[in-house]
Chain A
Amino acid sequence: MSLFKIKEKKKIVLFLSVIFLCSLIATITSSAQITEEDTRSDIVYEQGSVEVSGEQDEDTTSKKSRLGQSSLVEKANSIAQEESKEAAEDDSSEFVKYFKKTYKKAKDSFLRSFIENNGWKSMLKGLSVTLEVTFFSAGFGIILGFIVGIIRSTHDKTGKLVILNKCAKIYITIIRGTPVVVQLMIIYFVIFQTYDVSRVFAAIIAFGINSGAYVAEIFRSGIMSVDNGQMEAGRSLGLSYNQTMWKIIMPQAIKNVLPALGNELITLLKETSVAGYIALEDLTRVGDTIKTVEYEVFWPLFGVAAIYLIVVLGLTKLLSLLERRLRVSDNR
């Protein structure tokens, strides 16, 4: 258990370092914009820098305590201004100034993206839509895929269900052979054209049908991966085909299939990001809107990316827990 916890810590550290890397890139990119375009905001920037340097300087703060309240700010400002004049000639201070300038710019951009116009609220709403679509389409996809997978593998094993197997094959071929965006638009704009359905519902159906085709093949591979001897052993004890399938083959197949199924779930979560094509306000779409409205590229996009990443990390953790539970019988 202690080993497991260390692993967890490593994960957290990794995740934090990714976020740190993101913000580093943010400062670099946004600072590049400033130096190129924003010469007119020089005054503003200098004031800002004075304030910040004044606060941070230990000497100034120690003087503050000795001086009276009224003259404090003035005094501090004058000292800071002197310092900043010196700094203007100094190379290392130039770097500090540059860094502060970019920090402020990044901070402003962050506030504009997420805070000022309640961007974070719309993002949460978008996230909830994304999760809703993912959850229900995954459920639908797994049920559909399970049925189709059983039809296909029963045909493979026994040669029965010829017509159903043909239908399943056509379904899988079409779905896997066309892009999910096109399927989504066909379902919303063509198939549901005359019905008044919500965009969320259309997205759930589209992504569910799409995912079902992949899940079907995953289940089929899982069922086929269970040794034939298991079926023979079950049948030789007098169990019927169905009883053996449910009690003997399926539990083993699902255990084998879980990593691939988790993979499909993660893929599905990210695939829902194209739901914006039918104007569904999902997470990606919200990020895109903020981007357009606020003229900010960095924070909305990286924010969206980070949220997806966090959700995927959570999913991965859940799946590994489930996997560990099912692996009890492998212990030697």
Chain B
Amino acid sequence: MITVKSLCKEFTHDLQVLKGIDLNIEKGEKVVIIGPSGSGKSTFLRCLNLLEIPTSGEIWFEGINITDKKTDIDFLRRKMGMVFQHFNLFPHKSIIENIMLAPVMLGIQTREEAYYKAHQLLKRVGLSDKADAYPAQLSGGQKQRIAIIRALAMEPDVMLFDEPTSALDPEMVGEVLEVMKELAEAGMTMVVVTHEMGFAKEVATRVLFMDDGCVLEDAPPEEFFANPKNPRLVEFLSKVL
């Protein structure tokens, strides 16, 4: 579904964040990327929907080369939902408007359809009573759940999560991970950058370890945690587990 070929990203000539990444993600896979800060994992994720423009390399999504300048990236982004560390809800819109905005504006759904769908999604994450509230009135965990269903309202084929629980109080991490687990069980293709090792163990079909702009380990979670091969990963796991 997503194929990445020798992807490089430089911010300046000195600062090379991604040093040639090759990766293939199949439909239905749940890929969790872990690694120390500054290893380039967030940049890699943001490259996947071109929020960062790669310096070189190719990204293919559903058979289309999205790094090609002629590709209509706005159209492809509809099929790639993204969830941010800081939620990025639209503060001037109510929750229901946040969810309905993109589908209605892009003419994918009528207002009535979008309204119905938004309410279904709200029910799914247990926030039906917040439909007419504004983001400022919600807790961090609630905001992130809304951010997830806002992305889901576009009916994407893949969901990208950029450290979705890093800005949350420990108490609220659980409710967000719960939503993500349900999503995984429903068969969504997911790429998740996170520091939640428990989530990686439980949900992932593949775990990647990134450091210094390279993927150093790529294995199923059982093998990844029980039998790490790369010495850098062994060191990392000994610190975080």
Contact = CB atoms under 8 A, between A and B. Distances in A.
Nearest to A329: B134
Given A247-B105, A252-B92, A233 B137 contact: no
A235 B78 CA distance: 9
A239 B76 CA distance: 11
Interface in B126-143: 134-137
A251 B105 CA distance: 16
8 contacts: A233-B147, A234-B102, A236-B81, A236-B84, A237-B150, A329-B136, A330-B134, A331-B136
Contact of B93 (A227, A232, A235, A329): A329
Interface string A231-275: 011111111100100011001100100000000000000000000
Interface residues of B, number: 30
Contacts of B137: 331-332
Nearest to B106: A238
B64 interface: no
B103 to A, nearest CB: 9
A230 interface: yes
Interface string A320-332: 0000000011111
Contacts of B81: 236
Contacts of B94: 329
B51 interface: yes
A238 B136 contact: no
Interface string B26-59: 0000000000000000000000010100000000
B101 interface: yes
B88 A238 contact: no
Given A238-B75, A239-B106, A247-B101, 18 more contacts: A229-B88, A232-B82, A233-B84, A233-B89, A233-B90, A236-B77, A236-B82, A238-B77, A239-B102, A239-B105, A243-B105, A255-B92, A328-B134, A329-B92, A329-B134, A330-B134, A331-B134, A332-B136
Which 9 residue pairs across A and B have the least CB separation, nearest first? A238-B78, A233-B88, A237-B102, A236-B82, A229-B88, A329-B134, A238-B77, A329-B92, A251-B92
Contacts of B232: none
Interface in A300-319: none
Given A238-B106, A239-B102, A252-B91, A232 B136 contact: no
Contacts of A230: 88, 90
Nearest to A252: B92
Interface of B: 49, 51, 74-75, 77-78, 80-82, 84, 86, 88-94, 101-102, 105-106, 134-137, 147, 150-151, 154
A232 B92 contact: no
A290 to B, nearest CB: 49
B136 A237 contact: no
A239 B93 CA distance: 16
Contacts of A233: 82, 84, 88-90, 147
A310 B27 CA distance: 68
A331 B91 CA distance: 11
Nearest to B79: A238
A239 B74 contact: yes
Given A230-B90, A243-B105, A331-B137, A235 B84 contact: no
A54 to B, nearest CB: 69
B12 to A, nearest CB: 15
Contacts of A237: 77-78, 101-102, 150-151, 154
Interface in A8-45: none
A233 B137 CA distance: 19
B84 A232 contact: yes
Nearest to A233: B88
Contacts of A252: 91-92
Nearest to A241: B74
Contacts of B136: 329-332
A222 to B, nearest CB: 13
Contacts of B102: 234, 237-239
A232 B150 CA distance: 14
A332 B106 CA distance: 31
A251 B92 CA distance: 7
Contacts of B49: 236
A329 B133 CA distance: 8
A254 to B, nearest CB: 10
B210 to A, nearest CB: 21
A332 B93 CA distance: 14
Nearest to B77: A238
Contacts of B135: 329
